[in-house]
Amino acid sequence: MALISCRECGEPVSTEAAACPHCGAPPQRRVPPPLPVKTPPVQQKEEIIYSDNMIAVTSTRVVIGGTTYALRNITSVKMAFSSPDFIGPVCVLLFGAFILFLTIIPWSPQNYQPVLGAIFGGGVIALGIMWMSKLKPKYHVDISSAAGEIHALTSRDQAYIQRIVQSVNEAIVGH
């Protein structure tokens, strides 16, 4: 039991008294100690791991084409690819083969000119072969998170996609 001064009359009063015995003033309530001030956590400085005109990979986020992905939400990243669509070139090749087949059959003996049909059919086949040789697979940066998996970036340059995937993996491991 401690004695404190009454806030009304100034006389000594027990800390356990229900009221001041001298003036009847209610007991003085103790002021709770101030709460400790929490210091904000030290923020990690953002380091740039990879950057070009379309992509930035830092130690806290990945920015691809204006879309920002928080690194803490990314669970994995991988390179995927999709094969080119060969339907168009195959149709052109079949059309050229059909034209060559038609030049073999003389439909009208007076107007039969197999050379022109063979040149046209061969040209169409050559066009189909050139088209097919230009087709390349598309490579993707696939980012997985709790929300699912998305193709974040697509390119025909495999080395470029590998660099980006490697940079994001480096950021995940370093984070």
For residue 29 the two structure tokens come to 């309530």
* pLDDT, tens digit only, all 175 positions of the chain: 677 888 788 888 887 777 888 888 777 665 566 677 777 766 668 888 898 888 999 988 899 888 888 888 888 999 998 998 999 999 999 999 998 888 877 766 676 677 888 888 899 999 999 999 999 999 999 999 888 888 888 999 999 999 999 999 998 888 6
How many CB atoms lie under 10 A from the CB of residue 90?
13
CATH class, 48-84+137-174 region: mainly beta
What 3-state DSSP class applies to 174? helix
Checking DSSP bridges between strand 67-70 and strand 74-82, what pairing results, if any? unpaired
Give, rounded to a whole angstrom, the gap between the first and last alpha carbons of the chain: 55
For residue 1 the two structure tokens come to 């039991």
- Taking Cα atoms as reference points, which of 96, 82, 149 lies closest to residue 126? 96
